[in-house]
Copies of this chain bind each other. A is one copy, B any other.
C-alpha cells in the first residue's frame, strides 16, 4: 500500500496526508457529537475519503457478490471501489479467488469487463498470463533469461463465502470477528440456498453522494413516506412501540402485530431462526431480523403477493415476510420466499458512490412464466432511485458552510449505530 504513498515518513497513511491534517482529523473524531450527523468534512473532504478507504474499505470484510453471479468455474466479476480494482473468480474446485486486477508487469488492468468467463487470465498489453490462482505462468518476453516468474503472481485478497455470499478483505490480517458473525447469520441465509439461485437482474447506479450518506439513508425508514411503491408492502410503523404509536396508526399497528405473530409462529414451526440479532457496534457490525409484510405478506409487490412462482431452496412457504440483514460497512440484503435482493455500496470518491443491486430467483424459475422481470424489480428499482435523490439532497447541503450537524431522531438509532461504528473504526485507525 506504500506504492501511491508520496509521504514515506508517514507510512500507512494515504498520499497527501500531513501530520497537521491528521491532527485535525483526530480532533474531529474525538469531538464528534453523539446523536448528531457528522461534521461536513466527513462527507466532502478528499483526504478524509482516502482515510475511509484505508481504515474501512481496505481493512474490513466487504460484500463482493453472491455465488449466483459466478456459478461456473471461470466465471468472474470485477469490482472497483475507491482506488481498488478486484477480480472475483470461481475456481475449478468450486472455490472463489479474489485477485487484484493489476498486472505485475506494467500495472495494466488484466480484465476489463464487469463480468465474464475466463480460463487463464491474460493481460491485454503484453500477454502476461496468470492461472486462476494468480500465478504467472507465461511471460513471453523475447530473449528473457533471468526472470523469476514466481515473484510476479497477481496479488491476492482474502475471501470468505458464507451461505453463498462472497466477502473479501484487502487487509494482510483480516479482522477475526467476522467468522463469529458469519456463524450468526448463516442460519438465516442458508435455507434460501443461494447456490440454487440465478441472477434475474442487476442494477448499477451512481449516487452523487458520499458513501456514508448512502449508508445513513439505508439505515432508517423515517423517510419511507418517500417510497410509495415500497410502502405498499411495508407496515408504516417503523420505529414505533406500543407506547408511541399514534392514534391514526392504531389499526395498522394491530394488523402488523398480528402479522408478526403469525410470522413468528410459522418460523418456529418450520425451524427457521426468528430472533432479531442486532450488534451494529462490533467490528463486523450486523443486524438481522424477520419482518412481516403487509397484504399477502409474501413479497415486495403492491398486494404483498409473490413475485416469482418458485420457492427458493426447500423453503416450506411463501409467507415468510422479509429476512433483512445489514452488515457494516456497506451491504444490506432482503431475503424472501420467492427472491433475494443483495445490495452493495461502493465508494467512488468523496462525493460519488456506486450502488449495485442484484435480484436472485430460483435457478429453475423461467422469466415470463414464473416471474415477470419488470414486476419483480419494480419496487426496488424505484426505491433505489428515490434514495439516490435523498442522498444527493444531503450531499449538496453538506457543502454549505452554514450546514450544521443535525440531530438523529430516536427512530434513526440505526443511523447513529452506523456512524458510531464508523467513528470507532476511524479512531482505532488513526491512533
Contact = CB atoms under 8 A, between A and B. Distances in A.
A6 B125 contact: no
Q: Which of A21, A58, A222, A238 has the most CB of B within 10 A?
A: A222
Label chain A's interface by main secondary structure: loop
Contact of A142 (B83, B222, B400, B405): B222
Nearest to A220: B126
B4 A44 contact: yes
A15 B41 contact: yes
Nearest to A100: B402
Please state the number of chain copies in the assembly: 3
B142 A239 contact: yes
Nearest to A82: B401
Contacts of A85: 396-397, 399-400
Q: Which of A5, A237, A246, A399 has the most CB of B within 10 A?
A: A399
A397 B84 contact: no
Contacts of A316: none
Contact of A401 (B1, B9, B124, B244): B1
Interface stretch (A62-70, A103-111, A282-290, A322-330): A103-111
Interface string A21-48: 1001101100000000101110011011
A385 interface: no
Contact of A144 (B6, B394, B411): B411
Interface string A313-345: 000000000000000000000000000000000
A398 interface: yes
A126 B124 CA distance: 49
B155 A394 contact: no
Interface in A230-288: 237-241, 243-244, 246
A28 B7 CA distance: 9
Interface residues of A, number: 86
Q: Which of A106, A216, A243 has the most CB of B within 10 A?
A: A106
A170 B409 CA distance: 29
Contacts of A6: 21, 24-25, 28, 41, 45, 47-48
B409 A104 contact: no
Interface in A346-380: none
B244 A398 contact: no
A239 B141 CA distance: 9
A20 interface: yes
A112 B147 CA distance: 52
A124 B386 CA distance: 11
B141 A398 contact: no
A390 interface: yes
A394 B107 contact: yes
A270 B389 CA distance: 56
A203 interface: no
A407 interface: yes
Interface of A: 1, 3-9, 15, 18, 20-21, 24-25, 27-28, 37, 39-41, 44-45, 47-48, 58, 83-85, 100-109, 112, 124-127, 139, 141-145, 147, 152, 155, 170, 216, 222-223, 225-226, 237-241, 243-244, 246, 389-390, 393-394, 396-407, 409-412
22 contacts: A1-B402, A3-B40, A7-B24, A8-B27, A15-B45, A37-B106, A40-B107, A84-B402, A103-B406, A104-B406, A105-B407, A107-B394, A108-B393, A109-B393, A112-B393, A141-B222, A141-B409, A141-B412, A142-B409, A144-B409, A144-B411, A147-B407
The 3 closest A-B pairs by CB, nearest first: A143-B244, A141-B409, A107-B397
